[in-house]
Amino acid sequence: MLILINLFLLLGTVAIHAMTNNLKENIATKGKAVQSSTYYLKADAAIDDIDFYCTHTKTETNPWWRLDMMDLQIIEKVIITNRMDCCFEQINGAEIRIGMSLENNGNNNSKCAEISGISARQSVSYSCGGMQGRYVNVVIPGDSKNLSLCEVEVFINGTS
Ligand SMILES: *[C@@H]1O[C@H](CO)[C@@H](O)[C@H](O)[C@H]1NC(C)=O
Ligand SMILES: *[C@@H]1O[C@H](CO)[C@@H](O)[C@H](O)[C@H]1NC(C)=O
């Protein structure tokens, strides 16, 4: 009897965990990431689930990072985690773009948000209100910009 109760408790916990995951699932880790250029860490450092490793493009005009989610997704929010050391203000002015098009490397898709600033090591959540797309881009418009992202998380509503 005791064993049965324990088994029930265990299964119950697993089921609740799975349910919560489905409601708010970060699908970015299942996608593929690329970026306009690489100064040191590659584009997938932003989807490795480890804040410590951050992507970094070379200094260039309109540096961008793009996530390919392989399929159309309805996106509720995107969470960006900024770098913790120097230069956290480099992210200022970056845009989050979502859509199906690869025109201009995906940077011409609809804008979900413009990042006014994120403190060092902080994460900010941007609500995209159900925007649809296969690609999520982060691009900084302008000359002599560096794009560095420690984590990009993409949340959809429910499973898909
Ligand atoms: C992307 O959008 C910009 C600004 O609206 C426009 O000037 C440019 O021609 C577009 N790029 C492409 C490849 O269509
Ligand atoms: C980009 O990085 C270079 C090299 O580290 C630095 O000299 C420059 O000031 C940075 N640019 C911006 C806009 O932060």
Which residue is it, tokens 């804040």? Answer: 51
Total of domains in the chain: 1
Residue 6 lies in a domain: no
Which among 88, 146, 147, 148 is the best mutation to test ligand 2's pocket, defined by most ligand atoms within 8 Å of the CB? 146
Please report which ligand is nearest the Cα atom of 143: 2
For residue 50, what are the domain limits?
25-156
71-97 confidence digits (pLDDT tens): 999 999 999 999 988 899 999 999 999
Is residue 136 situated within a structural domain? yes
pLDDT in tens, 132-157: 999 999 999 999 999 999 999 999 97
User: Could you tell me which residues come within 8 angstroms of residue 48 by beta carbon, excluding any fewer than 6 positions away?
Assistant: 29, 151
pTM confidence score: 0.85
Nearest CA to ligand 1 atom 13: 104
CATH, residue 65: 2.60.120.260
Q: Which ligand is nearest to the CA of 90?
A: 2
Task: Establish if 104 belongs to a structural domain.
Answer: yes
Tell me the pLDDT tens digit for each residue of 23-56: 578 999 999 999 999 998 999 999 999 989 999 9
Question: Cα separations (Å) of 7 from 13, 20, 47?
Answer: 10, 20, 35
